[in-house]
Structure 1
């Protein structure tokens, strides 16, 4: 991994914007703050990525591409059985655990963040979800709505990554907690089995 000073200005800007948009949202993140976090001035940010809307699009497109690449191998190796579905769900969960900022970006997006940028879902999300729905449909029971089953898993994983599960003391346990992650993974497998009627 390279140091922040060795990274290109664009990568520094995208990294800073990703974290800030994930935590504070599009509306709550001024470009000045992104520039400061990247160790640059606003003019440099504008020069490399354009305005805030352009920057948001670049962040979301990069997030979608990383997600697509992470799931690509699991989709290629998919087997039309419960084990294949579990491996795909595990890969998605593992990606979200490793990149909670990406889960946060999408969760904020789907909760009405920057709604005026509608093309993002059509161009980036629908093709990936569509392919996963096709794979799930290969093993789903005849009465199953595979699309809603897949989206239910997505929302469940994002909820665990962002909100976690409360323990007996009221503390949130998320993906970084090994025991909570193991319990959630087992529950996720059971949820997938039930949703797809495996």
Structure 2
């Protein structure tokens, strides 16, 4: 494992334990078992470190989504897999890191722009999937592929934020609502075959 990866893994653990506002590069260096100067050498500081961590994980997960949606499974099964991936991403801490950086971006324009750039990757994948659905099912009514991709992506982002608030009843509502889209897609796909 490279020094940069060790530092990012330590940062991830500290971020999950303490949140972005309380994240200390000193704690990260201690957790990684290396001098603080290595963080500054590799990442420039706290902001650069956390953005590098988020970017690294984001690239892996967007790649995972692209691969999953490129499969020949029915669209409803692929969407169902995306809901399963949400559970994996919550468990891994990725969602928490992402939401922490979204919040940090509200007061730090540079962070906000970098987070938006990362999120665009997710929306591009979703728009490609919606274009596939449009080709298979026909009209999307008043919605463009970009509109529907935005709605689905924002439903996941908002759902993630609500789940992280820790209320079991609301978390269950979010999970149920997101998974109901599977039923809608299945109905549309089965109707298009008939």
Q: Same fold (TM over 0.5)?
A: yes
Q: Within 1, Cα distance between the matches of 2:81 and 2:39? A: 40
Q: 5+ unaligned residues in a row in structure 2: which ranges?
A: 135-139, 189-194
2:101 to 75, 98, 109: 109
Gap change, CA 1:12 and 1:75, over 3 Å in 2: same
Q: 1:157-179: per-residue Cα shift (whole Å, max 9, x none)?
A: 4533x234437xxxx9x8xxxxx
2:168 to 166, 169, 173: 166
Structure 1 residue aligned with 2:63: 69
1:189 aligns with 2:179: yes
Q: Within 2, Cα distance between the matches of 1:14 and 1:88? A: 25
Q: Within 2, Cα distance between the matches of 1:23 and 1:192? A: 34
Q: 1:60-88: per-residue Cα shift (whole Å, max 9, x none)?
A: 21121122132222121165643333233
Q: Is the 8 A contact 2:122 2:153 kept in 1?
A: no
Q: How does 1:41-52 map to 2 (within 5 A)?
A: 41-52=35-46
> Which deviates the most, 51-60 or 151-160?
151-160
The secondary structure found in structure 2 opposite 1:125 is helix
Point out the structure with the larger helix share.
Answer: 2
What is the TM-score normalised by the length of structure 1? 0.70
Moved over 6 A (4+): none
Q: Is the 8 A contact 1:14 1:59 kept in 2?
A: yes
Q: 1:96-126: per-residue Cα shift (whole Å, max 9, x none)?
A: 1441x21001112222444432432343220
CA RMSD, Structure 1 to Structure 2 (Å): 3.3
What is the TM-score normalised by the length of structure 2? 0.71
Structure 1 residue aligned with 2:129: 135
Q: Within 1, Cα distance between the matches of 2:29 and 2:52? A: 15
Q: Is the 8 A contact 1:35 1:45 kept in 2?
A: yes
Q: 1:30-86: per-residue Cα shift (whole Å, max 9, x none)?
A: 211111111112123223333222212211211211221322221211656433332
